[in-house]
Structure 1
Amino acid sequence: MTTPQTAPAPTAPRLGTLLRACHPAPAAAVTLLATALAVAGGRGAVGSALAGAAVGAGQLSVGWSNDLVDRHRDAAAQRCDKPLATGELTAGTVRAAAGWALACCVPLSLASGPAAGTAHLAGVAAAWAYNLGLKRTVLSWAPYALAFGLLPAFVTLGLPGSPWPAPWLTAGAALLGAGAHFANVLPDLDDDLAAGVRGLPQRLGRAWSGAAAAVLPAAASVVLVTGPAGPVGPAGRAALAGTALLTLPAVLAPRGRGPFLAAIAVAALDVVLLLTRP
């Protein structure tokens, strides 16, 4: 007489698999940028660590919620890089992870003070709004612009006296965020159109969106160089020249991967400017 075989109990997802569903590259990049801004802004070791932890928790919640909302579309597109689409993760697991990350983000943000915490949580709310529907509208760029534009405020409002950042710094960060939206959409634009996603980049098409992906970070460079009081120095002039050299080919020939690569290069330059501007 044989004993019936029982199915093995499902194993908990590995941490690496869960992290693959949080958009790890952009999440890490934004977290590192915020931490570096906090260090450069004088938040000190503890304040900078708290700022980085808050932004990291927010980014995890945003990344996981994005894959959770898009899981059926990703499965239809046969996205092998999406653990939810391949069945490596369940929706319940990712939903719980996003909820815990968001729950941690609230006290971590408010640890920088009520004004700074509110600024950061507003940016996280904008990112969630993008995931939950704004990505399909003509206002798809707005959450990126708002969330990035509030990062300098999150840093400065956590300083003694809770000062607001200079308007040019906020504007430069917002332009960088809007450019990041176009650059982020470009690789998946065709899949988005097939799935009925009609954000602003999809409505404009690949050529115009490619140009916007390069021009918006270039505009951020101009703002970040010319915004501070006083004449533009040699480093600023070199930054503007480099921005022009990178942007013009993408605008004149907005096809292929040129605009995407130009956007990434100019965005990297903008990050340097963000960290070095007074």
Structure 2
Amino acid sequence: MKDKAQHVNTTPVPTVTLHNGVTMPQLGFGVFQVPDEATTAAVATALEAGYRSIDTAAVYGNEAGVGRALAGSGIPRDELFVTTKVWNDDQGYDATLTAFDASLARLGLDHVDLYLIHWPAPARDRYLDTWRALEKLLADGRTRAIGVSNFQPAHLTRLIDASGIVPAVNQIELHPGLQQAGLRALHAEHGIATEAWSPLAQGALLKNGTITGLAARHGRTPAQIVLRWHLQLGNVVIPKSVTPSRIRENLDVLGFTLTADEMAALATLDEGLRTGPDPDSLD
């Protein structure tokens, strides 16, 4: 088997073009469950490694840590793609606008590149009003694109029918154990980019024999096989780590390709495995 340590990423990170023409790196860096102080060092490492897309959220409590890393990086703002999200407690038109201001202040930015409704929270039934606030933020140039996260087909359809505005992105739990084929097909129909959170199923699948077998064949790690699978499906993906070697390793998935037969083998692993909440029930 080839020595994994010898791989050096020299290939530019591919981008996806959102339906409003904004380009977004297909491979970014997530900071879910990373404490604020640790976030600064992790994001700084990621930026040094070559990541340019950073995904955070108000509820993560680490927007300030992301902001410190961005400010200290010396990277021009127009080379960065920053995503954050409005939490369920702040849904509603006025509350969302207030929450957005607070997120910008913590990030130390004058705009974000993508702003998402974090969960549909259907029992609260505020996401249509929340979406109107996102439309205003987009019109005012305070975010370059707007989207949703964890929206099921019924939520998406209702939102689009009521507003006439299609989300640019739906960020959903997606990995080989939860492949969301129906939802991805709906995204494709409407021109919505699919973004995967928990892309490695929090490690739950990394000992699966199909994945470890492909890792051995390609001289890669199981995580790299899964991330490569995402990219070849067309998903935007945001793996998280606080370990510098893994941060770099997760970016080093651009120099090999899975065959059609290998992709087909990974397609058989779908078992409806959720590592996070059911979007229809989380409030």
Q: TM-score, length-normalised on structure 1?
A: 0.29
The structure having more radius of gyration, on CA atoms, is 1
Question: Higher RCO, 1 or 2 (CA under 8 Å, sep at least 6)?
Answer: 2
Greater strand proportion: 2
